[in-house]
């Protein structure tokens, strides 16, 4: 089997760390790998496949000879370095929001639109974590019944906001239990024993950027420009694993049994749906897993052709690192590198 030269930019971050695990677990065909970061993180030692590597400061020459570059270092960093990496001959799979809505950049979820990788021009965008898990569950139903409308409320873990947000939940929980006050560093409001209806910045339409990502990315990934998406994104005191309550309205009639059967046969989906026996997906149970879990499938009471479902996934894995590695695997499958 042919092997490839790989680079990870943002190797020391929360998603970068999971990318390393996923590459190792999936036996990705690596010839040579390098771990890149800012000057602040350069020099750190990390383990990969039983060997110790030194994190390098990213420079233009870092990408020479690289076949696939996995980026997870933020939008401004991606805007700076992705074109340089492409110029040096690498294909970039970028986890930031920098390129997602660029009409010249594919936005890919392998279970939904794998063929889109074929028209890349050097950069492929990895969607937002909450969008990824939702479209994995939506698309198989959309193919059969055509979805007109989606109303989604998310319950997003703090890991989605990075390592400092995880620290916020840990430290504020301790502080409150001890009767102390704690001011969060990475989150916009108190998170311990609380829920915060505020992820990313508010826009003029009173939705947040996170919410509008779910609208625009869903349409692009599913090639469904007319689908209506109404999102509310909420941060909850959970360390890892996003949950979503998703209500859909379809053009064709759909029953609970039909929806359940479609999802049981869908790639990347595991149905856990026996509520009378307390069987339904929860973030604590999907932590460390790569599938999207669906339960609480029921007839919606507001729409004639309506179904409601509960969708849960590990946001650092399927919502970020695993999806990026799966995109890299598609590049190999289609012989695009």
Q: How far apart are CA 170 and CA 194, in angstroms?
A: 13
Write down the catalytic residue from 120, 142, 207, 242.
242
Instruction: Report the distance separating Cα 191 and Cα 198, nearest Å.
Output: 11
Contact criterion met (CB below 8 Å) for 150 and 311: no
Please enumerate in sequence order all residues whose Cβ is within 8 A of that of 330, keeping only pairs 6 or more positions apart, or say none. Answer: 108, 110, 114, 117, 336
The one catalytic residue among 120, 129, 142, 207 = 129
In degrees, to the nearest 5, what angle opens at C-alpha 53 toward C-alphas 47 and 58? 120
Residue 129 catalytic?
yes
Distance CA 162, CA 95 (A): 13
- Compute the CA torsion angle 213, 69, 139, 313 (nearest 10 deg): -80
242 is catalytic: yes
The 8-class DSSP code of residue 187 comes to S
- Catalytic residue annotation: 129, 242
């Amino acid at each position: 089997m042919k092997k490839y030269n790989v680079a990870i930019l943002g190797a020391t971050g929360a998603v970068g760390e999971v990318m390393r695990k996923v590459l190792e677990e999936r036996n990705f065909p690596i010839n040579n790998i390098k771990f890149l970061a800012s000057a602040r993180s350069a020099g750190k030692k990390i383990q990969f496949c039983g060997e110790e590597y030194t994190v390098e400061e990213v420079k233009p020459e870092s990408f020479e000879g690289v076949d696939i570059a996995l980026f997870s270092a933020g939008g401004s960093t991606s805007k700076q370095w992705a074109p340089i990496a492409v110029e040096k001959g690498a294909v970039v799979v970028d986890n930031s929001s920098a390129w997602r809505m660029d009409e010249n950049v594919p936005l890919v979820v392998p279970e939904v639109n794998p063929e889109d990788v074929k028209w890349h021009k050097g950069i492929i965008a990895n969607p937002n974590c909450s969008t990824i898990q939702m479209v994995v569950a939506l698309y198989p139903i959309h193919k059969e019944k055509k979805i007109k409308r989606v109303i989604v409320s998310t319950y997003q873990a703090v890991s989605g906001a990075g390592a400092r947000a995880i620290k916020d939940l840990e430290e504020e929980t301790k502080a409150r239990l001890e009767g102390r006050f704690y001011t969060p560093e990475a989150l916009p409001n108190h998170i311990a024993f609380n829920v915060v209806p505020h992820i990313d910045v508010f826009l003029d339409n009173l939705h947040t950027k996170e919410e509008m990502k779910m609208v625009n990315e869903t349409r692009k990934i599913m090639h469904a420009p007319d689908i209506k998406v109404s999102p509310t994104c909420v941060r909850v005191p959970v360390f890892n694993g996003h949950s979503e309550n998703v209500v859909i309205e379809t053009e064709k009639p759909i029953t609970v049994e039909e929806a359940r059967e479609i999802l049981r046969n869908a790639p990347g989906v595991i149905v856990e749906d026996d509520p009378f026996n307390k069987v339904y997906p929860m973030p604590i149970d999907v932590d460390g897993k790569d599938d999207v879990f669906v339960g609480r499938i029921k007839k919606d009471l507001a729409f004639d052709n309506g179904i409601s479902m509960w969708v849960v996934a590990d946001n650092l894995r399927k919502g970020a690192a695993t999806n990026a590695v799966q995109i890299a695997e598609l590049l190999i499958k289609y012989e695009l590198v």
